[in-house]
Structure 1
Amino acid sequence: MADHQEASVTLPTTPSSVATARRHVASVLAEWGLPEGTDDAEAVRLIVSELATNAVLHTRGQSPVFTVEVHLERDEELRIGVTDSHYRYPRRLPAAVQQDNGRGLVIVRWLAAERGGRLCVSPTEDGGKTVWIRLPWPVPVS
């Protein structure tokens, strides 16, 4: 496999785009050797769903599109980033907050940590941000 592979898709910040982002990433990862239905593939699907949902819900109409990027470095590290043009960074809510939503980043951090990865946020040149997840690349299932 090549030292570096990447794919991306830019979508409107609408609820239906979350499923499109999830399908896109699943398809790319299957091409790269991570079959759908495995625990790792399902974890990545959930991570992409949460990050895309955040881009749709929390940009409050101030980011007309979001971009999902997928990078594979030397068959060692998978990076998935969701970029939007909204200036506000995601916030972790206190565990004591009792509400129906707002736990997405907690889930993402937990799924990443469980697989030896991490979540980070970086600014973009246009004042927005990219929320990245970095994971060790799993050995493809035979």
Structure 2
Amino acid sequence: MGAGLEALPYRHVLTLPTEPSAVRTARETAELALAEWGIDPRHPTVGPALLILSELVTNSVRHAVALSPQVTVIYAASEDCLAFAVHDRHPYQPALYASVTGTGTGTGTGTGTGGLATVMELTLGLGGTAVVRCDADGKGKSIWITLPL
């Protein structure tokens, strides 16, 4: 994690089995954490952030389960920033920005559709950033989303 994200005062880590129920649990945990941290659930960033999180966990459940029996979600926030990561142990690293332009295969059809394109369109539309971070051994990755509040 980058130095800026390490400085975020609020943090929660959740590890779940890579199965469909992980999507709901990750989203419900996010809602609880945001409430505990005093982030208004009606803030215009919260709804899209929960959708982004759900899409990323869904991608891990659909595409990484064969190599990753668990998915880990890291939540972090400050007064003006919300960040989260979804980590699995599948080595594939999607080309995040290609999913928006339609130039990559990503998890969609290569035409800018699908879950990853939605993630990127929402992230960029909110003025946020997205990055894929490879595990040191190259056998897993985290997709980090940072959004302004």
Structure 2 match to 1:132: 144
| Structure 1 stretches of 4+ moved >3 Å | 91-99
Give the corresponding residue for 2:85: 81
1:59 to 64, 67, 73: 64
Distance 2:110 2:131 in 1: 25
2:45/2:147 contact within 8 Å kept = no
Secondary structure of 2:144's counterpart equals strand
What count of residue pairs does the alignment treat as equivalent?
Answer: 133
Q: Which amino acid aligns with 2:85?
A: G
1:114 corresponds to: 125
Q: Which runs of 5+ in 2 are unaligned?
A: 1-6
Instruction: Return the offset for 1:36.
Output: 2.7
- After superposing the two structures, state which structure 1 stretch, 47-56 or 89-98, moved more: 89-98
2:25 is aligned with 1:20? yes
The answer as to whether partners of 1:82 and 1:130 remain within 8 angstroms in 2 is: yes
CA shift at 1:45, angstroms? 1.0
Contact 1:108 1:119 in 2 (8 A): no
Give 3-state SS (helix, strand or coil) of 2:122's partner: helix
Match of 2:76 in 1: 71
- 1:7 aligned residue: 12
Shift of residue 90 of structure 1? Answer: 2.2
How many Å apart are 1:72 and its aligned residue? 1.7
CA distance in 2, matches of 1:46, 1:81: 13
Match of 1:104 among 100, 115, 125: 115
Shift in Å, 1:44: 1.1
Q: C-alpha displacement at 1:29, in angstroms?
A: 1.0
Give the aligned CA root-mean-square deviation in angstroms.
Answer: 2.4
Identity, % of aligned positions: 36
Between 1 and 2, higher relative CO (CA 8 Å, sep ≥ 6) is seen in 1
Partner SS, residue 33 of structure 1:
coil
Unmatched 5+ stretches in structure 1: none
The question of whether the paired residues in 1 share the 8 Å contact of 2:11 and 2:75 is answered with: yes
Which whole-Å deviations, capped at 9, do the CAs of 1:90-109 have from their partners, x for residues lacking one? 2455389499xx61111111
Q: 1-side partners of 2:94 and 2:16: how far apart?
A: 20
Say whether the 8 Å CA contact 2:68–2:88 is kept in structure 1. Answer: yes
Shift of 1:132: 0.7
